[in-house]
Structure 1
Amino acid sequence: MTQEPATEASPVRPLTADEEAVVRALPRLVHGLPRAIDAEMIREQGLSTTEYLALMHLSEAPDRQLRMGDLAEACEMSLSGTTRIVNRLESQGFVRRVRCDHDGRGWRAALTDAGLARLEEAWPTNLAAVRRHFLDHLAGLDLEQLAAALRNVAT
């Protein structure tokens, strides 16, 4: 939700103590949460969160394939960063590249059976980390309302 610029008729309101606490906690969440989950994934699975997310998005795609640009967008990464992730996953046999049917210049990343098995193996670790570092701290909150608010902020 956008707010109109302050005018003489609508001065800028100072933050309440609760608003201030949320605003100050947000950067710690944005930076700390992914790091905590990533550290756990690497320690327990030898798989980064980014690699996990690439496998997850591919598993959810039609025919378990996505154009490289679409995978980059889904993972919220640059195309070059996605290419590096796909290279790593491909070297481990979890992903393969296939030419796009309708566009001979384009490539798709395709999840292999080994990649799907690796995702299923890593899923419990990721789920436990997400619960421990994030969801368990939201007990008692209206998660539907929180999700809607977060989507509004993101757009």
Structure 2
Amino acid sequence: MQDDLPKPDETLGEMGLYSFAPYLMNRIMGRYNADLQGDLRALGLSTAKMRTLAVLAVVPGLTINELSVYAVTEQSTMSRTLESLEQAGLVRRAGRATDGRVREIYLTEAGRAEFDRAWPAMYAGYRRMFAGIPGEERRAFVATLQKILRNVRRHEI
């Protein structure tokens, strides 16, 4: 039921930024990423590299297009990021078993170790984000985000 959504003729000014969920989500993630950058820089990682390592730690064997979507990174940025990670020995590319023309990307042991070094900073940011929010509320929020993601994925190209 969407009766409580703003009316289609209501302007953003009338609604207000703090009632506009896309603004809040961007602002939250912008702050999370900015806070994390210092920790990552100390580890020699960029946000794009951290996201790539994190995604591959959980979902190995993605193509560059799939990895770009999961890591929320432009494909051109992902290409440069993967080149750098591959040169550093943190990822490897392999032909897909069913179609050798398709290249899948995997973490190497060194890549897993690098992600394991970055994880504490990522987790600390996550804990700060949910400080003072009870587990039940956090779980409901994450479930709502998953529903929103399904809604917007229906419109992906």
TM range (shorter): 0.7 to 0.9
Alignment of 1:79-94 (within 5 A): 79-94=75-90
CA contact (8 A) 1:100 1:108 kept: yes
Write the letter of the residue equivalent to 1:48: S
CA contact (8 A) 2:53 2:115 kept: yes
Counterpart position of 1:65: 61
CA contact (8 A) 2:63 2:103 kept: yes
- CA-CA distance at 1:116 after TM superposition: 0.6
Write the letter of the residue equivalent to 2:44: G
Structure 2 unaligned runs (5+)?
A: 152-157
Aligned mates of 2:68, 2:7 — CA distance in 1: 38
Distance 1:101 1:22, change over 3 A: same
Structure 1 unaligned runs (5+)?
A: none
- TM-score, normalised by the number of residues in structure 2: 0.72
1:110 paired residue among 106, 127, 133: 106
Q: Secondary structure at the match of 2:101?
A: coil
CA contact (8 A) 1:41 1:126 kept: no
Aligned mates of 1:143, 1:65 — CA distance in 2: 30
- TM-score, normalised by the number of residues in structure 1: 0.73
Aligned mates of 1:2, 1:41 — CA distance in 2: 40
Deviation above 4 Å: which 4+ runs of structure 1?
Answer: 1-7
CA contact (8 A) 2:90 2:108 kept: yes
Distance 1:2 1:88, change over 3 A: farther
Determine what percentage of the aligned residue pairs are the same residue: 25
Counterpart position of 2:37: 38
Q: Secondary structure at the match of 2:140?
A: helix
Question: Aligned pair 1:29/2:28, yes or no?
Answer: yes
Write the letter of the residue equivalent to 1:144: R
Higher RCO (CA < 8 A, seq sep 6+): 1
Per-residue CA distance 1:116-148 (angstroms, 9 max, x = gap): 11111221122113323x122x52471122223
RMSD across aligned C-alpha pairs, in angstroms?
A: 3.1
Distance 1:110 1:151, change over 3 A: closer
Larger radius of gyration: 1
Distance 1:88 1:20, change over 3 A: closer
The size of the alignment, in residue pairs, is 144
